[in-house]
Amino acid sequence: MDDPRPKLQTLFKAQSVLTRIELRAKAAQAVYMCIALVFGLLALGMLNLAAYLALSDPVGPVWAGVIVAGIDLLLAIVLLKIAKGAEPGPELESAREVRDLAMDALTTDADRVKSQVLAVRDDIKSVTSRIAGITSVVGVIKGALKKRKKERS
């Protein structure tokens, strides 16, 4: 029987390395996204100010603020709907299938090892009971030999 430990150790080490590399890349990506978000918010603020100033002369300052806020609200609602509808792609299902296949294979191996261990345990019990039987027979024979020896003496 092949020892699964080296395979599992290799699997865990490889997964650990992959996870570290992915985490480093994701952390760098998150930092750059945060910086981009800050600049994007600054740009949006400036666009809002420019729109407000452009609309304040023709419609007045109050209505300019209402129009700019309304446009911002509509953009927010559209973006929330898009975000709510964002689902993981087919790669998530593929990853789950691979994980399930690996887990099934490990479970099958574990069940096979368990049955082999139980078979060895049963063999040991059988040998132990045979040895106990032989020991009792040897004890009876010893007793008979001692008794015979005493009778001869």
Q: How far is 98 from 101, CA to CA, in rounded Å? A: 5
The boundaries of the domain holding residue 97 are 89-153
Specify whether 73 is located in the same domain as 12: yes
How much is the pLDDT for 1?
52
What is the number of domains present in the chain? 2
How much is the pLDDT for 30?
93
pLDDT values of the chain reduced to their tens digit, one per residue, 153 residues:
567 777 778 877 888 888 889 899 999 999 999 999 999 999 999 999 999 999 999 999 999 999 999 999 999 999 899 888 877 777 878 878 888 888 888 888 888 888 999 999 998 888 888 888 888 888 888 888 888 878 877
What is each CA distance from 35 to 28, 60, 118, 122, in whole angstroms? 11, 35, 60, 66
Specify whether 76 is located in the same domain as 102: no
Instruction: Look at the pTM and tell me if it is higher than 0.75.
Output: no
Residue at a domain's end among 86, 113, 139: 86
